[in-house]
Amino acid sequence: MHVVIVGGGSVGSSIARELLSHGHDVVVVDATAEVIGRSNLRGAQWVVGDACDLHVLQRARAEEADVVVAATGDDKANLVVSLLARSEFGVPRTVGRVNHPKNEWLFDDAWGVDVAVSTPRLMTALVEEAVEVGDVVRLLSFQTGSATLSAYTVPREHPVVASTVTQVPWPQDVALVAILRDGVPIAPSGDDVLESGDELFFITTAEGEDQLRAMFTTARDVNLQAARGEGGSTAMPPTAQRRTAGPPSPSA
């Protein structure tokens, strides 16, 4: 795979190093030549110049790129690079780094961005994931199609514990794509039984994410009421917004 990475700083260099270790063809574009020596990258091709210039992207063979990663510390530059990659070179996939959360709304298909990666959002998500067991946490936003990657850590004594994947009434626009159990990733099947402490990963729409959060919260509250002797069932409640009769496929 031919990948063009714009921005040779710590973020761009780290991405390039990982891709090179996986055997990909990597070109790094940066406005200053000094970063070449500091990066200590072996095997990468370098182009020195302003990537907002079409000629510089041509030197990086952007027309051959499978992916362009705009990873500079300047949101304006990342947006321009993404737009040029899509509109001028027909790059099939673009990834844009968001440096300032207030600019995140700009990183969408209108600017040629397929996936927006916000470091502040990711760090917040990781913090929330560590301390907010029992809450749905958004990890990434895929701007094309408004899809998100979300995670949920199953708390102890939650009603979904001991249920199989097909027994849980997932909302319509939600797909369970992975289970992380004791550090081991599992591709979920309908017969897999959910356990306390499982980290569940979903591809969903924003609406589906809200429905998923409501489903887990309702189930938790029903379970707490039953445990306190306030009535109610410990069974997993149906999702109010459910539009289809049967559970969707648990895999993407």
pLDDT of residue 249: 45
pLDDT in tens, 149-186: 888 888 888 888 999 999 999 998 899 999 999 888 89
Distance CA 209, CA 78 (A): 28
**pLDDT at residue 231 above 50?**
no
Cα-trace Rg, the chain: 22
Q: Is the pTM of this model over 0.85?
A: no
pLDDT of residue 122: 65
pLDDT average, residue stretch 197-203: 91
Rounded percentage of the chain residues whose pLDDT exceeds 90: 47
**pLDDT at residue 115 above 80?**
yes
Q: What is the rounded average pLDDT for all residues in the chain?
A: 82
Residue 68 near residue 6, CB atoms below 8 Å: yes
| Chain centre to alpha carbon of residue 79 | 19
